[in-house]
Structure 1
């Protein structure tokens, strides 16, 4: 692995954005993905890179206690894990400040527990050391959501504006998920120095960073830098270069200096494309700007490196219910599962993961790309497609499950149909229930014959309905 480094795993808290999965207080790090805790994927990535010491940072003492209980009772890997709790409202950079005394290495990795990836972290570390970088950021192709698409002429929604040099080696501009705005301002000194700069909206930051210890010192010196992605990385990118003398403003859509002859310190990129990628050929060095224009624009001491994952590499985060469901189904691909460290034994003949203890009734099928956990029983004429079922589930007859995730000990009675659903541990669906695009909380019972579309069904809602009925 080269020079020794340690890792800081940001394990989060109760996963509030994934309600009702967190209804029983189970930490985000222990949510099941392909029937194993989410944290196991991050630990596998770190272990594969030869990391030994991992500091697991949890939001709140209760989360830290549950994670360490899992480590003590369930974890059997080679990593040395130590958990620290920080206040529940702590942001990512503030969390690093809070545990700074435990970060002793000159180089350290910061990784979010909700990232599932097969990127070779050892290769990313090599890039970081070879470039003597202050920070190296893992970027990958943006996972496209239909909700993020916009009409032609409108700024893309929920994208990150990433500026890379001509060889995509250096991160020279970073604006994470800005609100809709008509213009993105670029430092003119950066444009002049780079010669060729690509501003892209088809990349996403994955919350995996390799940092030099100087970045930690910077955080301690600047309390306003509270969030790694929103504050620290943009700060480091901006301060790679000192602010230069004012240069002629060049607009990408005009191809030359501003027509009015005024001088500005920034160029302005009109963010009006709805394409997946906005590539800006900024060959400004060929213009008539003399070297004198760069007198005070000497690069700073930091170097922000970009590590762009290839299209064949997997990077996904379980940041909401939709992505949680997608990742569950995607990792149950035999080839990908092997790279990610999925612990279940594959059934190569049927291209799926069906535990040998599963009881399958007459004319029931579990298609390729499915996972069925140990002790689960399928009644007659059941059909399971592109879904993940946990351990000890019980399915009656004529049950159809498509694109769904069922956690442990779920009971589904005869004639139920589920599509694009998440059903949490211990939930029960009585006969002839029909659910589409729903989430069912832990221990919730769905009444016989009920039909629900795009609903969250949890005990909190059930209690409110009971109270409303009484009043």
Structure 2
């Protein structure tokens, strides 16, 4: 190898290593965990959406553990006063006791997590505006209902290399049917309403539109500025937004000046991606304002020279504001569990081993009539019962001759003798009396289903209110 090639390789290694070791110093992660989960009724009648079990771990575990594994040393969890006690109890008391977290923390320092409550009933962009003074740098936004097992280092590297203002993560919908979990709660109109329409430059994945299908009619208007600066564009509607965003710090100044923007997903992100060229002149001022408290000199770790190139892009006006999309690798499973259908899918993914932090029961330890299970502590199981493809919570009692197929059973559930349940979700502290036959049913927490009940597609629970924060 030549000296030049060796030097180039060493330089690349220094930059990559520095970014992998120090990227968390540049980004402040924020997890939104204030959703009521109205689309998950009746599961969220009494349970907080962020704490719904996914493979027997609260959904919030997925976001926190992904951040911790990616090397972050601090994070903020944003919730609302009505959920503050429950979220704080999990973050400060239960999450540190998780076996995976404890195992990781034997070799690295724990991630410092702060729980912050914002005003009840406001939108996500309003919440971001409220906590702006606590955000010291460029930041990362993710939702507690996002279930994905992914190392974020590559995402943050791409954001820095592209000198992006916004990088959002998408995953491709409509994968081969054999790779998808079985759908038990299909709802075509609901799924369609959650689809996104994206306009992307295929070469570098520069994104110029991210709109909900519900807001798009027969035609899509594309501004002349976008057409003038991009020779090729692709319109897609099978990519879904993960609600995982990397943002420049100056965006907080935009929110301060545009108080009408209330939602991150519905208003802020579409505003940024569609008005990039228009915003560039204003952004020049906002970038300077957001950097007003910087020191005259900085101690820069070895190998981060490329970060000093950022000001050079200002000469390329009007291309200062740049938004990019990063497509999640096809071998990475990702869903936001904000509908019953997708909640079932993420639990099915746990059973199939698609999420690394979920562990199924060892096949050698399963009885003849038990197949592909995730079982919590303290299970009491009667004779001649059959369990197949189920997630069973802690301290459940299952009677004799019970058949469970494709069910999610949360903590402290009692199921009487001779019950047959197929594709059902039973929330915590519920009691299913003897000889019940339920198919594709959902049951709220602390419910009692009378003996000999036969039901299909029923929802047992109370009325529910409107959603909040990434609903």
* Structures share fold, TM-score greater than 0.5: yes
**Counterpart of 2:40?**
18
Corresponding position: 1:94 with 2:126:
yes
Gaps of 5+ in 1: 151-155, 244-296, 355-359, 462-471
**Counterpart of 2:106?**
none
d(CA) in 2 for partners of 1:116, 1:143: 18
The equivalent position to 1:367 in structure 2, one of 371, 382, 406, is 371
Encode CA deviations 1:347-380: one digit per residue, 9 max, x unaligned.
4445xxx7xxxxx8xx762212x21211112222
**Higher helix fraction (1 or 2):** 2
Specify whether residues 349 and 438 from structure 1 end up closer, same or farther in structure 2 by C-alpha distance, changes over 3 A only.
closer
Corresponding position: 1:431 with 2:462:
no
Confirm or deny: 8 A CA contact 2:361 2:375 kept in the other structure. Answer: no
Corresponding position: 1:9 with 2:27:
no
**Counterpart of 1:184?**
220
How far is 1:180 from its partner?
A: 5.6
**Higher strand fraction (1 or 2):** 1
Confirm or deny: 8 A CA contact 1:413 1:429 kept in the other structure. Answer: yes
Specify whether residues 216 and 132 from structure 1 end up closer, same or farther in structure 2 by C-alpha distance, changes over 3 A only.
same
d(CA) in 1 for partners of 2:395, 2:450: 21
**Counterpart of 1:453?**
456
d(CA) in 1 for partners of 2:230, 2:116: 42
**Counterpart of 2:157?**
126
Confirm or deny: 8 A CA contact 2:62 2:149 kept in the other structure. Answer: no
Encode CA deviations 1:29-53: one digit per residue, 9 max, x unaligned.
2221111111111011111211111
Q: TM-score, normalised by structure 1?
A: 0.76
How far is 1:433 from its partner?
A: 0.4
The equivalent position to 1:65 in structure 2, one of 85, 109, 116, is 85
Specify whether residues 42 and 192 from structure 1 end up closer, same or farther in structure 2 by C-alpha distance, changes over 3 A only.
same
SS of the residue corresponding to residue 196 of structure 1 reads coil
The equivalent position to 2:414 in structure 1, one of 396, 407, 411, is 411
d(CA) in 2 for partners of 1:433, 1:348: 30
The equivalent position to 1:216 in structure 2, one of 249, 252, 258, is 252
Structure 1 or 2, whichever has the larger Rg, is 1
Corresponding position: 1:163 with 2:199:
yes
Specify whether residues 143 and 111 from structure 1 end up closer, same or farther in structure 2 by C-alpha distance, changes over 3 A only.
farther
The equivalent position to 2:94 in structure 1, one of 63, 74, 80, is 74
**Counterpart of 2:60?**
39
Specify whether residues 71 and 396 from structure 1 end up closer, same or farther in structure 2 by C-alpha distance, changes over 3 A only.
same
Corresponding position: 1:48 with 2:69:
yes
d(CA) in 1 for partners of 2:387, 2:213: 37
Q: Is 64-73 or 234-243 further displaced after alignment?
A: 234-243
d(CA) in 2 for partners of 1:402, 1:167: 46
Corresponding position: 1:314 with 2:317:
no
Confirm or deny: 8 A CA contact 2:193 2:212 kept in the other structure. Answer: no
d(CA) in 1 for partners of 2:246, 2:132: 15
Aligned pairs, how many?
385
Corresponding position: 1:206 with 2:242:
yes
Gaps of 5+ in 2: 1-19, 102-109, 176-182, 280-315, 465-471
Q: TM-score, normalised by structure 2?
A: 0.76
Equivalence map 1:258-277=2 (5 Å): none
The equivalent position to 1:325 in structure 2, one of 315, 334, 344, is 344
**Counterpart of 1:395?**
398
How far is 1:160 from its partner?
A: 0.8
How far is 1:57 from its partner?
A: 0.5
How far is 1:381 from its partner?
A: 2.2
How far is 1:423 from its partner?
A: 0.4
